[in-house]
Structure 1
């Protein structure tokens, strides 16, 4: 890997509404510590510095969190903070970052990654996987890191990329499928031809922008139109950009065109996007000693340090997730935990803005 050419884009925007009420406007998901002693964004920065240098790491965040993200980045020697006036999902954010990087570094190869992943295993596994992605990205293709499914998870995106016919042939992505139903996810698991989409990508910056122009010309045109004379996004113009995910507008048509490859991850990976995932992968955050259950499965109970000392008695209900932050008590089940955004929207409509 030529480390001088590798630039890492870390997408650190959004509030993490699927983990409400723990995540709020003044305490986004990027600042969560899952019990490791470091926040999610700090862990992501540490991994980024395994594959490049601090002057080639770029944090993309919203105006609301610019101060906290800047402070965290500075502790790692990172000064490139790209600020979206308003969160517009991953396609505009990646276009903006890629354009700014390419202007200064025409030969840059970009690696983009979200911050809200739990990645474990030996550090060499992360480095080896990303090194292979960077090597493959020299071709000009979009390279996605895929994770072999461990279960029929219906909350994740999948990539159909059958095993190549020979070791020297890359995994070619054929199809992206977001959040399939249970039967489809079970089928994907049985075939062995599908990966979870980790949302970690690599591509030459020039090639990435070419792919966006080919498959999502309205997105890149809108981003270009929103930049001021200094090349920074102007708030009012940026607010008019449509919020769209890179998966839908670029990766899906690019896969159909045969220009997406998949590199299998050798590390253990989990998306920390829902309370169900959090309860499964970070059980130390939950407090079963305060729970009594009769005729039901033991619930996952998260009690914030601000919450009163509450004991929970559950009768005849399975798969509960209970979140107590002191000012609000949320009760749901694992099947609905991935749909927290609907509850947040209803809370907003109710006028309970102080909880958001």
Structure 2
């Protein structure tokens, strides 16, 4: 199987650390290596490096080459502009179909924390076998560790399965906490990991069936479909295909997993670094009578007094002060400020 790392997003939920010029996948958030580098290093442990590709926006192509100098330029699939995961997946499929290559693809986000790489390989191998033998789409479903409002959920059949994968019956968009508490009590519900395993021809068939205009615009571009890319709609692969497909299965994944798309997720991964008062700090930070904060100070001394349960982030791009309970509003508010010409990101 080939693995395509998706590395084209903006990462607005980690503003102001993650900004448009250098979003989260190109940042060192959990170690000295960036998320993209960590993802690549993990994957080369389970598949040959020649089988690993990166799909990214033209804006970030130079960053990919800078951070992964060992990656051949021919392994970088370039989106002319950012158009969400639906067009991204379609362009990736076309990249291989133009070369008469229909080997199974794993489409994987670049910013996930999956420390048990051998368990991941086992799950992907099961998914590969299913995707290879039929025109099925296989996802990895994460067994929920807690009620979570930042992730979408996958509901599956309790009886209909194939080779260890459960038939998906429906998707649930990011729920409120009350709904999330109910969801995690069900035995057939999983977090949507965003990891998808399928053949390029399956992607093409699904696009033709569910997004014919999008696919026609790309495929009609001949050997240079990228010229049509800017006119494509911004649509996620979930909306474009997965929520409409009737040949969708999920393999339960019961190991540690985090989508490092928010300050809360970063806190969970770095919780062992917390001080005696539960503060997780980065930079020159002095905290007095303050507890359970995330404090990130870049390039300047920071003093925090009498603050609890806050996210405080200071970078050259801006200053964020946010109560942890209000973090779900961060992405939409950053986008609102951008639209108002506020210069965020």
TM value normalised by structure 1:
0.87
- Which residue is equivalent to 1:238? 229
How do 1:60-139 residues align onto structure 2 when only pairs under 5 Å count?
Answer: 60-77=55-72, 79-121=74-116, 123-138=117-132, 139=134
SS at match of 2:235: coil
**Matched-pair contact (CA < 8 Å) for 1:158–1:177:** yes
SS of residue paired to 1:25: coil
- The CA distance in 1 between the partners of 2:242 and 2:162, in whole Å, is 24
CA offset digits 1:161-208 (Å, max 9, x no partner)? 144468856311000112012122111111121000111111122122
TM-score (norm 2): 0.89
Q: Distance in 1 between matches of 2:120 and 2:200?
A: 22
The residue number in structure 1 matching 2:281 is: 287
Instruction: After TM superposition, give the deviation of residue 12 of structure 1 in Å.
Output: 0.5
Corresponding position: 1:341 with 2:341: no
CA offsets, 1:229-279, max 9 Å, x none? 542512xx322210000011200111xx2x111111243110111112112
Mapping for residues 131-280 of structure 1, pairs under 5 Å: 131-138=125-132, 139-164=134-159, 168=163, 170-225=165-220, 227=221, 230-234=223-227, 237-254=228-245, 257=246, 259-280=247-268
Closer, same or farther in 2 for the Cα pair 1:153/1:128, shift >3 Å? same
Aligned to 1:42, what secondary structure does the other structure show?
helix
Q: Deviations over 1:86-127 (max 9, x none)?
A: 100000000001111122143311110010111112x32121
Residues 79 and 49 from structure 1, CA distance in 2 versus in 1: closer, same or farther, beyond 3 angstroms? farther
Q: Is the 8 A contact 1:55 1:78 kept in 2?
A: no
Structure-2 change in CA distance of 1:199 and 1:349 (3 Å): closer
Contact 1:34 1:282 in 2 (8 A): no
Q: 1:167 to 1:248 in 2, by over 3 A?
A: closer
Matched, 1:303 2:294: no
Structure 2 residue 8 is the aligned partner of structure 1 residue 16 = no
Tell me the C-alpha RMSD between the 2 structures.
Answer: 2.3
* Maintained 8 Å contact 1:70/1:79: no
Q: How many residues align?
A: 336
Unaligned 5+ runs, structure 2: 275-279
Consecutive unaligned residues of structure 1, counting only runs of 5 or more, are 1-5
SS of 2:78 mapped into structure 1 = strand
Deviations 1:277-331 (A, max 9, x none): 112222449329722336xx53221222x2x21110125xx53111111552211
* The 10-residue stretch of structure 1 (96-105 or 333-342) with the greater mean CA deviation from structure 2: 333-342
Match of 1:3 in 2: none
Instruction: Kindly report structure 1 stretches of 4+ aligned residues shifted beyond 6 Å.
Output: none
CA contact (8 A) 2:16 2:317 kept: no
